[in-house]
Amino acid sequence: MKILANDGISKSGIIALEDAGFEVITTKVAQEQVANYINANDVKVILVRSATKVCKDIIDACPGLKIIGRGGVGMDNIDVEYAREKSIHVINTPASSSDSVAELVFAHLFTGVRFLYDSNRNMPLEGDTNFEGLKKAYANGIELRGKTLGIIGFGRIGRSVARVALGLGMKVIAADKFVGSAEIKVDFYNGQFINVDIVTEPLEDLFKHADFITLHVPAQDGGYVLGKEQFDALKDGVGIVNASRGGVINEVELIDALDSGKVAFAGLDVFETEPTPAVQILMHPKISLTPHIGAATLEAQDRIGTELADQISSLLKTEK
């Protein structure tokens, strides 16, 4: 049985699938040719990440498809309900990349509080001629320890973020209309750990108290999670990180808030007009930028590949 991993899959995932008797195809097929390729090659399973879309037209055109798999959490590039109506299994790997995304959030937070986003731009230009000036310019950093981190969206990734924050000695508040509370286990050396119970709070309270805000919510059908009204409610000098989905922050309002000083810095891994982010965002001196790489660690890709392999093998074990 053939599996098309159109957006790639880790070597460990390929090995696991091949060991289970599947043929794995890693040829990158252009979006407009996906349906033809699936039918011409009798592909039964298509695996995607964020690049390839599996919408109604492909589902209708490929009656032989048995499984659509998404390597990652969000499935907004798949017509999930329609596929399931057609008796196609739709699977994903919601837990595999949580820690990788959480660590990227803190990469952006550390970058923001120590001005690395600006320092890394200016040191190559002025480091040999204005070293003392740059040293003075970047000498007013702050620590994350003791500050309050507001987490919007308290699913798997939000909880991984909370775990790191607690380990750093931060105060954590969270808001999630679907989650009332969660127990966060913080592991230490030699098997030691502590459990911390976090009860979610209304967004208004989070806005009032958070020194930093990180978003971990799905794509929004209408409106923004952070628009003008919400920016106005934030503490002055807050730092904001978005490693969830583009379109949950109004980027025009974000730029205004950065320019006014309401927001001290932002870290963005996703963008409203991805994959062509607005030039005003790309060039802003107070924004730390990454190109949607939250789940892109070797460890996460290994976990994603093997978890997809396990699910596929379980679903198709009698049909190989």
SS (H, E, C) 147-211: CEEEEECCCHHHHHHHHHHHHCCCEEEEECCCCCEEEEEEECHHHCEEEEEEECCCHHHHHHHCC
Residues 218 and 72 in one domain: no
Residues 267 and 218 in one domain: yes
Q: Does residue 245 have a pLDDT over 80?
A: yes
Beta bridge partners of 70: 48, 92
Q: Does residue 306 have a pLDDT over 90?
A: yes
| pLDDT number for residue 318 | 57
Beta bridge partners of 287: 266
What strands, in cross-sheet order, belong to the sheet with 287-289?
A: 171-175, 148-152, 212-215, 238-242, 263-268, 287-289
Residues 108 and 241 in one domain: yes
Residues 116 and 56 in one domain: no
User: In CATH, what number is assigned to the domain containing residue 120?
Assistant: 3.40.50.720
Residues 148 and 43 in one domain: no
**Would residue 159 show up in a list of annotated catalytic residues for this protein?**
no
Instruction: Select which of 89, 114, 201, 274 is catalytic.
Output: 274
Cα–Cα nearest to 218, from 270, 291, 288, 293: 270
Predicted confidence band at 75 (pLDDT cuts at 50, 70, 90)? confident
Residues 221 and 283 in one domain: yes
| pLDDT number for residue 225 | 97
3-state class of 106 per DSSP? helix
Environment class of 190 (CB within 10 Å of its CB; exposed 0-12, middle 13-18, buried 19+): exposed
**Would residue 245 show up in a list of annotated catalytic residues for this protein?**
yes
Residues 171 and 281 in one domain: yes
**Would residue 32 show up in a list of annotated catalytic residues for this protein?**
no
Average pLDDT taken over every residue of the chain: 95
Residues 6+ apart with CB under 8 A from 218: 74, 76, 244, 245
Residues 135 and 208 in one domain: yes
CA distance 181 to 154: 9
Residues 215 and 243 in one domain: yes
**What are residue 5's phi and psi, to 5 degrees?**
-95, 85
Task: Check residue 246 and report its DSSP letter.
Answer: T
Instruction: Select which of 70, 159, 292, 303 is catalytic.
Output: 292
pLDDT digits (tens, 9 = 90+) for 14-36: 999 999 999 999 999 999 999 99
Tokens 């927001």 correspond to 263
- Number of domains present in the structure of the chain: 2
Instruction: Select which of 159, 245, 284, 303 is catalytic.
Output: 245
Residues 87 and 103 in one domain: no
pLDDT digits (tens, 9 = 90+) for 160-182: 999 999 999 999 999 999 999 99
Boundaries of domain holding 168: 98-289
Residues 6+ apart with CB under 8 A from 233: 204, 207, 208
Residues 197 and 258 in one domain: yes
pLDDT digits (tens, 9 = 90+) for 106-124: 999 999 999 999 999 999 9
Residues 6+ apart with CB under 8 A from 260: none
Residues 109 and 56 in one domain: no
Task: Check residue 115 and report its DSSP letter.
Answer: T
